[in-house]
Amino acid sequence: MSKSCNRLLIFAGILFVLQACKTTDTGIISYDPPGRTTLTQPLDPHQNHARTIGVSETGVWASNEFVAGRMSDFYRVDGDFYRVTIRPENAPINWSSWYSFKLWSETEQTIQVELAYENGFHRYIPKLSVDGYNWTALDTTEFVHDRDAGTATLTLDVGPEKLFVSAQEHFTSDRVYTWADSIATLPYVEQSVVGQSHLGRDIIKLVVNATGNPDAPMIIVTGRQHPPEVPGALGLETFMNTFTGDEPEAVAFRARYQVVAYPLLNPDGVDGGHWRHNFGGVDLNRDWRDFNQPETRAVADDLLTYKERGVFALYGLDFHSTIHDVFYTMNKDIPTNIPGLTDRWLEGINTILPDYEIREEPFGVASPVAKNWKYHTFNNNGVTYEVGDNTPRELVRDVARASAISLMREVLKLEQAAPGN
């Protein structure tokens, strides 16, 4: 047991310490909640049965029978008051409490619906949609968030038209695959499959490269390890679209460098309406040391072929969402292959968007997350690019576009300085 773990013994219970400090040859395998590992865990068998439930006395119906749906139970409490219970795929789990269900009624009526969570609390502002494409976030006056109970209660007008109620707008694997197919029609974009998820969905790679050299210096992009983090997915899409677009920076960048992107690491979790984990019941962004999961392993194995060929990594980005926009960067004293690039990149974003307030929180590189594995493998600067849950989607796109342009500008300035390979 390490020195820091021994020190912990003084302060914490023996069980916690034994679990938190359990080590393998590769180091600490569980540092989140006690007992956390990335070995495959069973999913809760009652988490999310696909079903449509009707209340015969009132003619109100609810269903989770669609991609990314999540509703564990639905029943009438009394009068016009109903409850939807929502369970995570398994626990313990960070409370990124995704829910998504359809609601309708045989007659027009106003009902109250309580969102009640097991192993979590209310987090996401409810979004409504009739078609699954156009979404409206509820106004804070249109629902009651009981922070002590961890519930939210919505007042809704329902009728025969089915109404989606969802934690965020839908951004399913199909949307990502369709988008990838569309940009892969460009002559300088190549799509391939690097592996399969637990349930056999493709883990795809997009390479943007007009150099003719598969070993050109690269920017590494990863995304959607965590299913509910839709704003991060939107940011990644815009970021990539900027690299494939017509801006002069993009044209110049593609002629010298490449982007290697894995936009959808957790397709099973996305389509299964998971809160955080993959179908192996694991937080993929804690598996970048032990690689117990097929999705992380596939991406890392593919990137290691670049490492073996001596490809230079210019920057690493991993797209996520949290309560507000924040760039989780690396501590400034950590030596990297391009000193100071992060600072110049962030300043460049502000040059493009002077009113946008950049929030940066640097960290060390010890934890087993994607950003740190890229650093340990390639010695590159990197960021966990967090988009706020409620950041207006137009701003998400503006910042992602500015991030891409600024990064291209800074890399192009390095032309003489950076070693080619």
Residue 387 C-beta: closest distance to Zn ion, Å: 10
Residue 38 C-beta: closest distance to Zn ion, Å: 15
Strands 127-129 and 73-78: unpaired
Among residues 113 and 234, whose Cβ is nearest to Zn ion?
Answer: 234
Among residues 199 and 323, whose Cβ is nearest to Zn ion?
Answer: 323
Residue 125's contacts (CB-CB under 8 Å, 6 or more residues apart) are 137, 138, 140, 143, 389, 390
Among residues 265 and 405, whose Cβ is nearest to Zn ion?
Answer: 265
Q: What is the rounded CA–CA span in Å between residue 113 and residue 128?
A: 13
Residue 137's contacts (CB-CB under 8 Å, 6 or more residues apart) are 125, 126, 127, 390
Q: Comparing C-alpha atoms, which of 293, 155, 176 is closest to residue 234?
A: 176
Among residues 102 and 226, whose Cβ is nearest to Zn ion?
Answer: 226
Residue 173 C-beta: closest distance to Zn ion, Å: 17
Residue 276's contacts (CB-CB under 8 Å, 6 or more residues apart) are 88, 89, 93, 94, 96, 226, 227, 228, 269, 283
Return the bridge partners of 385, or none: 319, 327
Among residues 202 and 229, whose Cβ is nearest to Zn ion?
Answer: 229
Among residues 277 and 320, whose Cβ is nearest to Zn ion?
Answer: 320
Residue 372 C-beta: closest distance to Zn ion, Å: 14
SS (H, E, C) 338-388: CCCHHHHHHHHHHHHCCCCCCCEEEECCCCCCHHHHHHHHHCCCEEEEEEE
At residue 220, the 3 state secondary structure works out as strand
Q: Comparing C-alpha atoms, which of 360, 353, 367 is closest to residue 325?
A: 360
Residue 19 C-beta: closest distance to Zn ion, Å: 23
Asked if 221 and 177 count as a contact pair (C-beta separation under 8 A), the reply is no
Q: Which residues are at the interface with Zn ion (CB under 5 A)? A: 226, 229, 320
Residue 145 C-beta: closest distance to Zn ion, Å: 22
Residue 229 C-beta: closest distance to Zn ion, Å: 5
Among residues 229 and 287, whose Cβ is nearest to Zn ion?
Answer: 229
Determine the length of the chain. 421
